[in-house]
């Protein structure tokens, strides 16, 4: 505790203010914000000392904690209205508004973040010029060029983008018009998209948001290696499998879940007497395993993905554009909305840059360390999947162990949410009164129904009025209990506004990543999971080999779990071996007698002879 006498704290002289101001270098406006009459001077001063100590240790983030511990949210209605008006961002041409007035950042915070935001803007300029903005993979980051090809760093890339877009439009038009026919000479009526992660989430979000009630082709997704899920999709197609265009999407061309989906679908085609190649389309990097397979097998079409477009930012590439176009969605409008938003986000005036305002609010709300979750609440059914889309975009970009200088930071912002007002009947209770570990993002859509379709379910009130009221009521109820929120407003859900929303969040993630000094464009953690899965499958093969050998001996050689682990030379993996056996037993897997030394028998029969305990049953 500072040596200052306690009296100077309780009777705040000018020297007290100047001392507090000096020890943790805050501006007078900040001092005003922490210098709250209802706070004991002693507490403020003690916290200020803590800050100065940590500042000297270079931990600038504590400064935000200080201001947040001592800054109550503005509650005066007049002051709030002024804050709303002062900070409301409006993109007139897009009809998109961004309201950050319910986030309690202070002038001092803005002042402190200004240089870091200017650096983030510079990083973005370099990125768009073709810098290696993904240093860990030595790649450029070019998703913004997809909607503004003229920005691409050379004519080769520009032409790739333009030619791919033309090819996507032409192919989609030919399928929808019936010029490209099914093998039986009819029209394609269904799309079966096989892909996972960024090769599914964007197309799923856009289909839910923008597909017309009666699209020229109806889309469904296989986005996992769950056999029951695959069977369900294929069963729902039924005889329409014959008029289904199967689009296999994989940037790497080697993702196991996608490969498995493809093999399962090709099996279904064989069993239906159909030729898969005549109905298959591949979207992947050129010369990937998938690309070569599609080329060699003569699939109907192939479209390229580029190494400078990440999966989670690929919605404006063939990944998102082809499925959307086949559903009759105006993809050029989607691109136009994204391009307009990109242009708005190139200003270096923070309060005129919506992506920067978002990133700033995220930093304030989560202390720049992900201390709170981002709850995404679109009050529009068609935007249901926006939060799932943002989960990958935000968490796979920001959830990183190390920063660009190699410091262990374990960064990230967790994202969840579904839609309002539905979620008000699920978890808003906790948001309103429970653990304060989140900030909310409302997505408001002003147009409730197409013009001329509205209906008053009671005098002067429509269904949409209720939805509007629920959003505003929840926003107020949260704020009155000091829960911060952001509101993004669009006029209606259109290709243009969806394109703008995608671009807004792509850029906000990029700016935020600069603020916290991380690479937003790689995903090292995912590789770890893929590697571990491969090891489980390798162990399973060894277990099967041991069981096959033992089960086809005469008489059968019953083994204990320990003996199985020993013969697999994996005594340390005994738990995984047990899980593997339990999973195989639950699926009544057949043991294949090596060299046909005996008749294949069910693993359960074999385990029965091993006097296994009930754990296997």
Ligand X SMILES: O=P(O)(O)OC[C@H]1O[C@H](O)[C@H](O)[C@@H](O)[C@@H]1O
| Interface contacts to ligand X, rule CB under 6 A | 196-199, 250-252, 255, 258, 311-312, 396, 523, 526
**What are the strands, taking DSSP E only, across 19-119?**
89-91, 96-99
- What is the CA angle 581-587-588, rounded to 5? 80
Residue 258 or 485 having the CB closest to ligand X:
258
**Longest Cα pair distance anywhere in the chain, in angstroms?**
96
Residue 299 or 479 having the CB closest to ligand X:
299
Residues 191/323, Cβ–Cβ less than 8 Å: yes
Residue 252 or 371 having the CB closest to ligand X:
252
Residue 262 or 471 having the CB closest to ligand X:
262
Helix (H, G, I), strand (E, B) or coil at 518: coil
How is the beta sheet containing 244-250 ordered, strand by strand? 218-222, 190-194, 244-250, 280-285, 301-305
Residues with Cβ within 8 Å of residue 114, at least 6 apart in sequence = 350
Q: 């950042």: which residue's tokens?
A: 105
Identify the sign of the CA torsion 468, 472, 477, 483: positive
Residues 501/343, Cβ–Cβ less than 8 Å: no
Residues 415/395, Cβ–Cβ less than 8 Å: yes
Identify the sign of the CA torsion 186, 189, 193, 198: positive
CA distance 204 to 312: 12
Q: 């060894």: which residue's tokens?
A: 542
Min dist CB 199 to ligand X, Å, is 4
CA distance 500 to 495: 9
Min dist CB 526 to ligand X, Å, is 4
Min dist CB 309 to ligand X, Å, is 10
Which of these is catalytic: 129, 179, 530, 583? 530
Which residue's Cβ has the minimum distance to ligand X? 311
Catalytic annotation on 232? no
ω into 211 cis (within 30 of 0):
no
Min dist CB 36 to ligand X, Å, is 45
Residue 446 or 533 having the CB closest to ligand X:
533
Helices in 315-462 by DSSP H: which ranges?
Answer: 318-326, 331-344, 354-366, 386-390, 397-398, 428-433
Which of these is catalytic: 425, 453, 458, 614? 425
φ and ψ at 266, to 5 degrees? Answer: -65, -35
Helix (H, G, I), strand (E, B) or coil at 616: helix
Q: Are strands 590-591 and 601-602 parallel, antiparallel or unpaired?
A: antiparallel
CA distance 156 to 168: 18
Residue 52 or 250 having the CB closest to ligand X:
250
Residue 20 or 394 having the CB closest to ligand X:
394
Residues 365/58, Cβ–Cβ less than 8 Å: no
CA distance 294 to 274: 16
Q: Are strands 461-462 and 456-458 parallel, antiparallel or unpaired?
A: antiparallel
Closest Cα partner for 449 from 520, 361, 381?
Answer: 381
Catalytic annotation on 425? yes
Residue 252 or 472 having the CB closest to ligand X:
252
Catalytic annotation on 396? yes
Which of these is catalytic: 112, 128, 315, 396? 396
User: Around Cβ 616, how many Cβ atoms within 10 Å?
Assistant: 17
Residue 117 or 321 having the CB closest to ligand X:
321
Residue 442, strand partner residues: 377, 487
User: Mind telling me the catalytic residues?
Assistant: 396, 425, 530
């Amino acid at each position: 505790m500072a040596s200052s006498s306690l009296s100077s704290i309780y009777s705040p002289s000018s020297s007290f203010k100047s001392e507090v101001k000096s020890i943790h270098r805050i501006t007078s406006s900040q001092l005003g914000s922490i210098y709250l009459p209802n706070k004991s001077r002693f507490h403020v001063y003690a916290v200020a000392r803590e800050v100065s100590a940590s500042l000297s240790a270079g931990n600038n983030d504590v400064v935000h904690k200080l201001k947040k511990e001592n800054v109550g949210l503005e509650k005066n209605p007049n002051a709030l209205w002024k804050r709303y008006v002062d900070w409301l961002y409006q993109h007139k041409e897009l009809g998109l508004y961004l309201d950050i007035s319910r986030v309690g950042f202070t002038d001092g915070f803005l002042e402190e973040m200004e240089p870091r935001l200017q650096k983030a803007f510079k990083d973005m300029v370099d990125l768009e010029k073709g810098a290696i903005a993904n240093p860990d993979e030595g790649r450029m980051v070019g998703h913004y060029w997809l909607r503004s090809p003229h920005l691409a760093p050379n004519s080769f890339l520009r032409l790739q983008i333009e030619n791919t877009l033309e090819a996507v439009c032409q192919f989609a038009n030919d399928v929808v018009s019936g010029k490209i026919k099914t093998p039986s000479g009819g029209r394609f009526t269904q799309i079966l998209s096989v892909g996972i992660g960024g090769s599914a989430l964007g197309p799923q979000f856009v289909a839910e948001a923008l597909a017309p009630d009666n699209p020229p082709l109806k889309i469904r997704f296989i986005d996992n290696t769950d056999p029951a899920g695959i069977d369900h999709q294929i069963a729902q197609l039924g005889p329409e499998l014959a008029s289904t265009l199967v689009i296999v999407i994989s940037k790497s061309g080697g993702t196991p879940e996608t490969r498995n989906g493809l093999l399962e679908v090709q099996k279904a085609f064989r069993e239906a007497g159909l030729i898969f190649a005549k109905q298959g389309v591949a979207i992947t990097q050129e010369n990937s395993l998938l690309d070569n397979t599609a080329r060699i097998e003569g699939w109907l079409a192939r479209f390229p993905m580029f190494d400078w477009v990440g999966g989670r930012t690929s919605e404006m590439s063939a990944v998102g554009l082809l499925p959307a176009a086949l559903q009759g969605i105006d993809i050029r409008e989607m691109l136009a909305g994204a391009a307009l938003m990109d242009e708005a986000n190139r200003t270096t005036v923070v309060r005129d840059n919506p992506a920067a305002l978002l990133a700033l609010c995220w930093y304030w709300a989560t202390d720049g360390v992900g201390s709170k979750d981002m709850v995404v609440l679109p009050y529009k059914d068609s935007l249901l999947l926006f939060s799932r889309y943002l989960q990958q975009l935000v968490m796979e970009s920001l959830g990183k162990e190390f920063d660009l200088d190699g410091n262990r930071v374990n960064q990230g912002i967790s994202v969840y949410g579904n839609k309002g007002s539905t979620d008000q009947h699920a978890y808003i209770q906790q948001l309103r009164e429970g653990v304060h570990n989140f900030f909310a993002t409302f997505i408001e859509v002003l147009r409730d129904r197409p013009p001329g379709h509205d209906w008053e379910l009671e005098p002067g009130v429509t269904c949409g009025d209720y939805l509007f009221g629920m959003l505003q009521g929840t926003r107020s109820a949260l704020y009155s209990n000091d829960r911060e929120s952001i509101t993004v407003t669009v006029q209606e859900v259109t290709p243009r506004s969806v394109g703008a929303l995608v671009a807004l969040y792509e850029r906000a993630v990029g700016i935020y990543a600069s603020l916290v000094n991380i690479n937003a464009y790689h995903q090292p953690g995912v590789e770890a999971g893929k590697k571990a899965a491969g090891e489980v499958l390798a162990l399973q093969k060894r277990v099967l080999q041991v069981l096959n050998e033992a089960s086809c001996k005469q008489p059968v050689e019953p083994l204990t779990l320990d003996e199985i682990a020993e013969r697999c030379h994996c005594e340390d993996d005994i738990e995984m071996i047990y899980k593997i056996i339990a999973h195989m037993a639950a699926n009544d897997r057949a043991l294949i007698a090596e060299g046909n030394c005996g008749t294949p028998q069910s693993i359960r029969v074999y385990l029965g002879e091993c006097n296994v305990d009930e754990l296997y049953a």
